[in-house]
Amino acid sequence: MLMSYKHLLETENHWVTRKGKAFLSDRVVLHGKDLHNELGDYDWIHLYLYAILGRDPGENVAKMLNYYWVSSSYADASIWPNHVTALAGTVRSTPSLALMAGLSISEASIYGRRPEVRALDFFYRAGRWCDNGGQLTDFVDQEKSKGRILYGYGRPLAKSDERVSYTLEKARELGLAGGRFLQMAMDAHKHLQEKHGYSMNIAAVHAGLAADMGFTCQEYQLILSPGFVTGMAPCYQDARDRPEGSFFPVRCSSIEYGGPAKREWAPDTETPQN
């Protein structure tokens, strides 16, 4: 099939969108509503959800997502990604660069955004399996037998997750605890605990609730992406306000090297000659 550049010409001088537009000196539009006149009373998290979803998800959904952020705002510089933000502070980086560096690594393979999105995908696939007549326990066992990580179950460095009980209590308070996928998360936990001794971490609860609230995986990732930033800011300040380079310095004698005693270096044939 021949490649066409027609789509490039169509957007060379203008961008057609239904998302938003700033008519400077007049008005600003976001998903068809005037930002200042119609959306000005929204809380920031509520507006953020509206911007992503293109619709108002409702006050209780906004409060639930707000609690996701609140409950994970750990101002502990010894944990990732706060560690990176503190390192930026100790070398006197700017706040924006420090926070962006921390957020950029919050999509790790074992914590943060990537496992949470994969947990959401797990529940959607489990739901389809059950809709086709399968049993949830069989789906869970099949996933494990394929060597797939069951995101939301087990937790690195800890046996339990202190956020789970508080998040479930908040969901009950907001009338969001009775959904199918949250119950599925609880049932999967019961099975995995009995069979393998796994605990449940917050990713399973968050994802179960998110599935009940109807978010796509992409929407969910966008919603969660800035979520750790509140815990990062104090870590940056703490390291910035102390002597430069004093955040967890490592002395040479503390480095354990297990490689060859002497390394042969090949000559650099590409080095320019004077």
User: What are the angstrom distances between the C-alpha of 261 and each of 61, 101, 250, 254?
Assistant: 59, 35, 21, 17
Homologous superfamily in CATH for domain 113-224: Cytochrome P450-Terp, domain 2 (1.10.230.10)
Give the pLDDT confidence score for residue 270 in this predicted structure.
56
Q: DSSP secondary-structure letter at 156?
A: T
pLDDT in single tens digits along all 274 residues of the chain: 445 788 888 888 888 899 999 999 999 999 999 999 999 999 999 999 999 999 999 999 999 999 999 999 999 999 888 999 999 999 999 999 999 999 998 887 777 788 889 999 999 999 999 999 999 999 999 999 999 889 999 876 677 889 999 999 999 999 999 999 999 999 999 999 999 999 999 999 999 999 999 999 999 999 999 999 999 999 999 999 999 999 999 899 999 888 888 777 777 655 555 4
Could you tell me if 195 and 69 are in contact, meaning their C-beta atoms sit under 8 angstroms apart?
no
The residue with tokens 């320019």 is: 272
User: Residues with Cβ < 8 Å from 264, sequence gap 6 or more?
Assistant: none
- Alpha-carbon distance 234 to 240, whole Å? 10
Any idea where the domains of the chain sit in the sequence?
Answer: 17-56, 113-224
Could you tell me if 198 and 190 are in contact, meaning their C-beta atoms sit under 8 angstroms apart?
no
- Alpha-carbon distance 220 to 209, whole Å? 11
User: What are the angstrom distances between the C-alpha of 33 and each of 55, 61, 95, 118, 222?
Assistant: 10, 20, 32, 33, 21
